[in-house]
């Protein structure tokens, strides 16, 4: 079986369709074929009779998408008490070094199962810097019914030897192997990205190499996706200013190496100046707000309003293990609560409505990741759905707020990924497919 998970094909789903989270869900049905929504109607029952899944009191939502997460950190959640750079040194780098010693498949499976359990069908993720472990993990991810933008982390300084040796050894070889993962750019529902960790971990040479890969891909009509971190914590920003004295700003470091395109995802951006926000907006890059991680690491309170006023494209990410939670409704709640905390601290704040937050973790994140057929209920879209079973008393104008603030995976009665019902506990339990 191609997906590596036991799953059953679904043809009809019925219930209250959450087409626009700002409007009450409409009773209706969806017909699915070939992993896509091929027809829909607004009546209690599909023309063929009772549906395979759902019912009049069920809510049908697009499944969630996470715009930023580190798979090798799935077992490092909750190691609290350290600011970003110390946390990287004492928690993250050891856990990623460990991941490279035989943990890749186990942790990729664990991450995928946890995400699926919480209703996440797709994500933009980082692996580690190990070429073999990352290739193994990519092979597993490509077999799943989930959707991925995933890349080997590129890093060549200021970290343990085990993590920076791969890029140093790579750069010393002739001909120099690609800075990305040794896999085709697309396989199954997976797209491979370039993931230079952040400016602190990357020499000028490494960033320049990623820039060349971006330009080379663009010239061939296939600009690669780039994922990196920017301006997350104050001490990190100070260090970047020291390491790149010729750059006008942190964002300018990436821009000078040609890393900012419409296919660039920049995580955090908590301490960006207005000029940096405008530069990101001009380049069309996406800023991935990671509210739960920013709170966990006490990195700061992201100013959603400032990013919006500058015209920056925004997405929302769990940033596990900086963020403690893979559940996107809880990340959405984190976004609202950080905005409220800003307001209570007397700072300028734009407080998103629950419907807006729900839209971000579905259609908004799908658009940010280039999945214009994802995160939505419409004919032609990918059939990535959740059948939710909230109490009947929640079916009022506060439905979305109730779902966000009461979130538990128990609210999900069924998950349909690529048109098949998925059991999260069985994801990735098949044998590896040949060639993976």
List contacts with Zn ion (CB under 5 A): 267, 319
Tokens of 182: 């040794």
- Cα–Cα dist 138/115, whole Å: 16
Provide, rounded to whole angstroms, the least separation between the CB of residue 339 and ligand GUN: 20
Provide, rounded to whole angstroms, the least separation between the CB of residue 294 and ligand GUN: 9
Provide, rounded to whole angstroms, the least separation between the CB of residue 70 and Zn ion: 6
Q: Which is nearer to ligand GUN, 226 or 377 (CB)?
A: 226
SS3 category, 168: helix
Provide, rounded to whole angstroms, the least separation between the CB of residue 232 and ligand GUN: 5
- Cα–Cα dist 335/342, whole Å: 11
Measured CA angle at 270 (ends 268, 275), to 5 deg:
110
- Cα–Cα dist 396/379, whole Å: 26
Determine how many CB atoms are found less than 10 A away from the CB of residue 6.
Answer: 15
Provide, rounded to whole angstroms, the least separation between the CB of residue 98 and ligand GUN: 14
Site for ligand GUN in 81-110 (CB under 6 A): 88, 92
Number of residues near ligand GUN (by CB under 6 A): 10
- Cα–Cα dist 340/137, whole Å: 38
Site for ligand GUN in 170-209 (CB under 6 A): 197-198
198 binds, among Zn ion, ligand GUN, none (CB under 5 to 8 A by kind): ligand GUN
- Cα–Cα dist 194/212, whole Å: 11
Q: Which is nearer to Zn ion, 259 or 400 (CB)?
A: 259
Tell me if 190 sits within 8 A of 3, measured CB to CB: no
Provide, rounded to whole angstroms, the least separation between the CB of residue 198 and ligand GUN: 4
Please confirm whether the linkage preceding 175 is cis (ω < 30° from 0). yes
Only one residue has tokens 């300028």, namely: 348
Only one residue has tokens 């063929």, namely: 48
Q: Which is nearer to ligand GUN, 183 or 229 (CB)?
A: 229
Tokens of 420: 């098949």
Q: Which is nearer to ligand GUN, 323 or 375 (CB)?
A: 323
Q: Return the half-sphere exposure (C-beta side, CA atoms, 13 A cut-off) of residue 110.
A: 15
Q: Does 319 bind ligand GUN (CB under 6 A)?
A: yes
30 binds, among ligand GUN, Zn ion, none (CB under 5 to 8 A by kind): none
Q: Which of 70, 117, 130, 147 touches ligand GUN (CB under 6 A)?
A: 70
Site for ligand GUN in 230-259 (CB under 6 A): 232
Q: Does 156 bind ligand GUN (CB under 6 A)?
A: no
Query: 169, 206, 74: which is closest to 127 by C-alpha?
Result: 74
Q: Does 293 bind ligand GUN (CB under 6 A)?
A: yes
Q: Which of 31, 58, 147, 229 touches ligand GUN (CB under 6 A)?
A: 229
Tokens of 360: 């971000």
Q: Which is nearer to ligand GUN, 129 or 362 (CB)?
A: 129
**What is the maximal distance between C-alpha atoms in the chain?**
68
Provide, rounded to whole angstroms, the least separation between the CB of residue 82 and ligand GUN: 11
Report CA 95 to chain centroid distance, whole Å: 20
Provide, rounded to whole angstroms, the least separation between the CB of residue 293 and ligand GUN: 5
Q: Which is nearer to ligand GUN, 88 or 399 (CB)?
A: 88
Provide, rounded to whole angstroms, the least separation between the CB of residue 275 and ligand GUN: 22
Q: Which is nearer to Zn ion, 137 or 267 (CB)?
A: 267
Q: Does 322 bind ligand GUN (CB under 6 A)?
A: yes
Only one residue has tokens 């993962």, namely: 181
Q: Which is nearer to ligand GUN, 130 or 363 (CB)?
A: 130
114 binds, among ligand GUN, Zn ion, none (CB under 5 to 8 A by kind): none
Tell me if 203 sits within 8 A of 196, measured CB to CB: no
Distances (CA, A) of 372 to 31, 233, 363, 364, 382: 19, 32, 8, 9, 9
Binding interface with ligand GUN (CB under 6 A): 70, 88, 92, 197-198, 229, 232, 293, 319, 322
């Amino acid at each position: 079986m191609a997906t590596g998970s036991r799953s059953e094909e679904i043809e009809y789903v019925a219930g209250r369709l959450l087409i626009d989270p700002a409007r009450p869900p409409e009773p209706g049905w969806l017909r699915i074929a070939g992993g896509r929504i091929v027809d829909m109607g607004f009546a209690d029952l599909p023309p063929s009779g009772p549906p395979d899944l759902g019912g009049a009191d069920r809510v049908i939502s697009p499944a969630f998408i996470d715009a930023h997460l580190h798979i090798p950190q799935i077992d490092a959640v909750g190691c609290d008490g350290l600011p970003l750079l110390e946390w990287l040194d004492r928690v993250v780098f050891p856990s990623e070094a460990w991941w490279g010693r035989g943990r890749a498949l186990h942790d990729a499976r664990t991450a995928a199962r946890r995400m699926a359990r919480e209703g996440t069908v797709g994500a933009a993720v980082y692996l580690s810097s190990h070429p073999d472990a990352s290739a193994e993990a990519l092979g597993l991810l490509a077999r799943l019914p989930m959707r991925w933008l995933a890349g080997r982390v590129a890093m060549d300084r200021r970290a343990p030897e085990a993590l920076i040796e791969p890029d140093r050894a790579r750069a010393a070889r002739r001909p120099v192997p690609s800075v990305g993962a040794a896999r085709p750019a697309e396989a199954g529902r997976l797209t491979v990205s370039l993931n230079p960790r952040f400016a602190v971990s990357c020499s000028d040479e490494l960033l320049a190499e990623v820039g060349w890969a971006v330009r080379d891909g663009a010239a061939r009509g296939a600009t690669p996706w780039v994922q990196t971190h920017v301006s997350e914590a104050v001490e990190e920003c100070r260090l970047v200013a020291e390491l790149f004295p010729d750059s006008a700003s942190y964002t300018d470091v990436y821009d000078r190496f040609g890393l900012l395109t419409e296919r660039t995802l920049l995580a955090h951006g908590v301490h960006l100046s207005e000029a940096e926000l405008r530069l990101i907006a001009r380049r069309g890059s996406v800023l991935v707000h990671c509210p739960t991680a920013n709170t966990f690491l006490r990195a700061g309170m992201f100013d959603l309003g400032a990013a919006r006023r500058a015209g920056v494209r925004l997405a929302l990410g769990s940033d596990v293990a900086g963020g403690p939670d893979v559940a996107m409704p809880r990340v959405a709640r984190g976004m609202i609560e950080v905005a409220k905390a800003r307001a209570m601290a007397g700072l300028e704040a734009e407080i998103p409505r629950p419907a807006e937050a729900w839209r971000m973790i579905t259609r908004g994140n799908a658009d940010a990741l280039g999945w214009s057929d994802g995160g939505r209920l419409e004919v032609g879209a990918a059939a990535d759905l959740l059948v939710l079973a909230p109490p009947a008393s929640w079916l009022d104008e506060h439905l979305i707020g109730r779902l966000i603030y009461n979130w538990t995976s128990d609210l999900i009665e069924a998950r349909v990924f690529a048109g098949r019902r998925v059991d999260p506990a069985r994801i990735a339990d098949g044998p590896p497919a040949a060639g993976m």
